[in-house]
C-alpha cells in the first residue's frame, strides 16, 4: 500500500462553504450550528492529501437541506475526484428531484432514520417511492440511522432488491459507548442481502471514541467475516474526524496499518476498490 501509484478513497465527507448568498442554509438553520465556519474541498484536501487520499464521496450536510448545489458544483468541476450523495424530500416531488440529481452526476441519496419509530420506514409510501426510484435510476440509498432501524432496513431490502444500499457508520453501533450484540447481529444479517454495503466510518463517534480506535477491531473483523472486503469501505466523516483530539490520519491508519488481521489486498479493497466500484464506476 506504500507504492506511489496507490491512493485511497474517502466515502463520507461533508463539505460546505462560507458563502451564505450563493449557498444558503436550509430555512431555520443557523451558521453557529455548523461544526466549523467552513469546510471547503481545499480545507479537506489539506488533511487528506498527506494521507494518500485522492478521491472522495461528498455527502450532503443536513443543515443545507435538499439544496445540493454546492457539492454538485464541486463534482462538476472535478468529476474524477468527487462523487455526490444528495438529499431529497420524499414528500415533495422526489421523482423530479432525483432525476435532477442524476442529470448532474449524483451517485446516491441520503436517507436518515433516527426517530423513536423505526417501522415508520415500512409505512411511509413516499419513502418507499424514493427506494424504488433509486433502484430505477441506479442510485445507492445511503442510510444514516440508529441500530433500531436495522430490521426495517432488512424488510426494505427484501421489498426493493434492485436498490443498492449503503449503511453509514456501522449503523451507529457503539454510539452509546457499547457494542450491543443484538445490534451487531442485526447488521450482519444484512449480509444476506447482496445489494447491501457498509461504511466503516466515523471512528471518532463510536465505542471509546479515542484514537487510535483499536476497540473497533472486533466489530470490523465481524463485519469482514460477514460481508467480505468487497462490500465494506472506509469513510472519515470529516470535518468531525478532524476536530479536537481526532485527526484524519488516525482514521486512515486504523485500516492502513493498525489491524494485523487485514492483508494488503483487504486493506486495498476497504480503502479504495469497494468505494470506486460503488460510487465511481
Question: Could you tell me whether strands 108-113 and 196-201 are parallel, antiparallel, or unpaired per DSSP bridges?
Answer: unpaired
**H or E stretch at 76:** helix 69-77
Confidence of residue 59 (pLDDT cuts 50, 70, 90): very high
Domain architecture of the chain: domains with CATH: 8-279 (3.20.20.140)
- pTM of structure: 0.96
**pLDDT tens-digit series, residues 31-51:** 999 999 999 999 999 999 999
pLDDT, position 110: 96
Residue 5 reports pLDDT greater than 80: no
| Residues 147/187, Cβ–Cβ less than 8 Å | yes
Closest CA to 13 of 244, 163, 233: 233
Q: How far is CA 157 from CA 67, 161, 196, 228, in A?
A: 27, 5, 8, 19
**H or E stretch at 57:** strand 53-59
Please give the average per-residue pLDDT across 118-127, as a whole number.
85
| Residues 187/170, Cβ–Cβ less than 8 Å | yes
pLDDT, position 238: 98
Cell (9 digits) for 254: 486504523
| Residues 85/60, Cβ–Cβ less than 8 Å | yes
Residue 109 reports pLDDT greater than 60: yes
Closest CA to 242 of 85, 82, 29, 43: 43
Cell (9 digits) for 232: 465494506
Contacts of 6 (CB under 8 A, 6+ apart): 52, 268, 272
Q: Which residues of 113-126 are buried (b: 16+ CB within 10 A; e: fewer)?
A: beeeebeebeeeee
Torsion sign across C-alpha atoms 185, 177, 164, 278: negative
pLDDT, position 1: 45
pLDDT, position 21: 86
pLDDT, position 119: 85
pLDDT, position 231: 98
Q: Cα–Cα distance between 52 and 117 in angstroms, integer?
A: 41
| Percentage of the chain lying above the pLDDT 70 cut | 98
| Residues 59/114, Cβ–Cβ less than 8 Å | no
Residue 2 reports pLDDT greater than 70: no
Amino acid at each position: 500500500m506504500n507504492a506511489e501509484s496507490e491512493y485511497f478513497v474517502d466515502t463520507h465527507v461533508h463539505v460546505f462553504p462560507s458563502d451564505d448568498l450563493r449557498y444558503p442554509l436550509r430555512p431555520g438553520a443557523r451558521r453557529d450550528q455548523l461544526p466549523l465556519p467552513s469546510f471547503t474541498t481545499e480545507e479537506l484536501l489539506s488533511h487528506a492529501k498527506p494521507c494518500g487520499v485522492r478521491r472522495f464521496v461528498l455527502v450532503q450536510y443536513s443543515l443545507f437541506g435538499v439544496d445540493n448545489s454546492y457539492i454538485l458544483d464541486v463534482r462538476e468541476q472535478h468529476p474524477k475526484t468527487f462523487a455526490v450523495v444528495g438529499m431529497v424530500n420524499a414528500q415533495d416531488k422526489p421523482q423530479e428531484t432525483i432525476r435532477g440529481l442524476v442529470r448532474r452526476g449524483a451517485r446516491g441519496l441520503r436517507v436518515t432514520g433516527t426517530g423513536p419509530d423505526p417501522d415508520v420506514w415500512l409505512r411511509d409510501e413516499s419513502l418507499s417511492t424514493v427506494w424504488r426510484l433509486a433502484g430505477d435510476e441506479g442510485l445507492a440509498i445511503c442510510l444514516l440511522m440508529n441500530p433500531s432501524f436495522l430490521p426495517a432496513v432488512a424488510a426494505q431490502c427484501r421489498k426493493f432488491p434492485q436498490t443498492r444500499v449503503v449503511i453509514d457508520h456501522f449503523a451507529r453501533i457503539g454510539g452509546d459507548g457499547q457494542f450491543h450484540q443484538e445490534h451487531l447481529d442485526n447488521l450482519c444479517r444484512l449480509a444476506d442481502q447482496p445489494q447491501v454495503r457498509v461504511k466503516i466510518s466515523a471512528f471518532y463517534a463510536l465505542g471509546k471514541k479515542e484514537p487510535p480506535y483499536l476497540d473497533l477491531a472486533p466489530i470490523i473483523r465481524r463485519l469482514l467475516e460477514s460481508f467480505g472486503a468487497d462490500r465494506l469501505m472506509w469513510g472519515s466523516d470529516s470535518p468531525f474526524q478532524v476536530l479536537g483530539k481526532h485527526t484524519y490520519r488516525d482514521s486512515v491508519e486504523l485500516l492502513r496499518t493498525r489491524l494485523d488481521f487485514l492483508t494488503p489486498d483487504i486493506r486495498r479493497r476497504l480503502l479504495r476498490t469497494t468505494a470506486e466500484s460503488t460510487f465511481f464506476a
